[in-house]
Amino acid sequence: MKKILFVFGTRPEAIKLAPLITEMKNKKWGLSSCVCVTSQHKELLTQVLDLFEIIPDYDLGIMKKGQSLFDVTAKGLEKIQIVFEKENPNAVMVQGDTNTTFLASLAAYYKKIKIGHVEAGLRSGDRYNPFPEEQFRRMTDVLSDWCFAPTETAARNLMKENISRENIFITGNTGIDALFMTLKKQKSSSIERKYKVRFAADYGIKWEGTKNILVTIHRRESFGCDLANICQGIKELASQAPQVQIIWPVHPNPEVHQTVKSQLNSVSNVFLVSPLDYSSFVWMMKQSYLILTDSGGIQEEAPSLGKPVLVLRKKTERPEGIRAGTARLIGVKSKDIVEETLTLFQDKALYQETAKRVNPYGDGKASQRIIQILEQKI
């Protein structure tokens, strides 16, 4: 059988590659899989591996406290070389826009191994927003033999950059596959009770008769003044809408953790919770009235749950949701955050129109399409 080596290092990559790995193992495709994780973000990554019952064949363990982009790149490239030489795969599969994504693609190129890039072609048009992800994704696309674009817009971006149409495949986004798989696991009523009791006991969150706003921030370009502005906006929003619960799973990065805790820890209707595993987070999205985030994955997932998204970024590489009306790009100014959020609360017609839009990112069958293409190409 032809061997596919999956390489990833962060939670978003794991979420979006898990359906492919699961599909490849559960059905009789003419391919075998091998999994290598760099553990670029170890704690968050492990949660996803456990949820989807994936046991890595290799864990490179490159994470260290205070690591820089230089640390991740140098250590990861050296260790991935050893795995490639031992496994000698027919193809390497990577996802998205992380440091691990780029360095695995570069290593595969050095070894003249075929490269498949899941979620290729997303572009913000600004090399520093998101930073460094925009350039990692661009460079990975250039190195790849097969670009699996989630949407027609992404495919057009690739063609504009002179990537051959023969190497571009529009598949939908595997993140929607992962979402549907997780929702299926959560159908039990006991799961619902478990989560409600857990968050009520741990944080005092109420679930009856309240509306919840879910907030997430993690991107590097948000650090510093932008994050401080976001926190100020959330604080003002909490003051103007005291009946609303604002739930913020705080990313463990010290740059995020320290700023958020210092500004919002004492606000009574803001609940700063520990980082959530993916299953818990999907459940939390379902309980939310709307979501404020800088996450690309949430921009894709939330529409499938009927949840409007306000994007706390200056630019997004996912314009399909903006055009479809499932998300609104509102920036990072505190005034805009308050005004845009209150508008969605007060204008019920606008809320319903946003919540009922069709998700432009996929139908839950992207993984099957990608594997069928790989079988033909390898």
Output the tens digit of pLDDT for each of the chain's 378 residues: 899 999 999 999 999 999 999 999 887 788 999 999 999 878 789 999 999 999 999 999 998 888 888 988 999 999 999 999 999 999 999 999 999 999 999 999 999 999 999 999 999 999 998 999 999 999 999 999 999 999 999 999 999 999 999 999 999 999 999 999 999 988 877 888 899 999 999 999 999 889 999 999 988 888 899 999 999 999 999 999 999 999 999 988 888 999 999 999 999 999 999 999 999 999 999 999 999 999 999 999 999 999 999 999 999 999 999 999 999 999 999 999 999 999 999 999 999 999 998 899 999 999 999 999 999 999
Amino acid at 105: S
pLDDT at 252: 84
Helix (H, G, I), strand (E, B) or coil at 115: strand
How far is it, in rounded angstroms, from Cα 59 to Cα 13? 15
In 3D, which of 37, 160, 22, 24 has the Cα closest to residue 98?
37
Which residue has 């990554």 as its token pair?
45
Q: Which of 59, 71, 220, 328 is catalytic?
A: 220
Number of neighbouring beta carbons within 10 Å of residue 241: 18
133 is an active site residue: yes
In 3D, which of 45, 63, 64 has the Cα closest to residue 54?
45
119 is an active site residue: yes
pLDDT at 203: 95
Number of neighbouring beta carbons within 10 Å of residue 81: 14
Interstrand relation of 309-311 and 146-149 (parallel, antiparallel or unpaired): unpaired
Q: Which of 11, 13, 41, 97 is catalytic?
A: 97
Q: Please, are residues 270 and 246 in contact by the beta-carbon 8 Å criterion?
A: yes
pLDDT at 191: 83
Q: Which of 13, 41, 117, 133 is catalytic?
A: 133
Q: Give pTM, 2 decimals.
A: 0.91
* Coarse DSSP helix, strand, coil percentages of the chain, rounded to the nearest 5 percent: 50, 15, 30
Token readout for 172 is 């939908």
- Preceding peptide of 360 cis, ω within 30°: no
220 is an active site residue: yes
Helix (H, G, I), strand (E, B) or coil at 154: helix
Angle between helices 99-110 and 133-143 (to 10 degrees): 20
List domains and CATH numbers for the chain.
2-173+363-377 (3.40.50.2000), 188-355 (3.40.50.2000)
How far is it, in rounded angstroms, from Cα 131 to Cα 136? 9
Q: Give the sheet arrangement for strand 270-273, strand by strand.
A: 270-273, 244-249, 211-216, 290-293, 309-311, 327-329
117 is an active site residue: no
353 is an active site residue: no
Q: Which of 11, 23, 117, 119 is catalytic?
A: 119
Q: Which of 11, 41, 218, 318 is catalytic?
A: 218
Q: Which of 251, 294, 317, 320 is catalytic?
A: 251
Phi-psi map region of 296: left, alpha, beta (phi>0 left; psi -120 to 50 alpha): alpha
Q: Residue 171: CB partners within 8 Å, gap ≥ 6?
A: 148, 149, 150, 366, 369, 370, 373
pLDDT at 197: 94
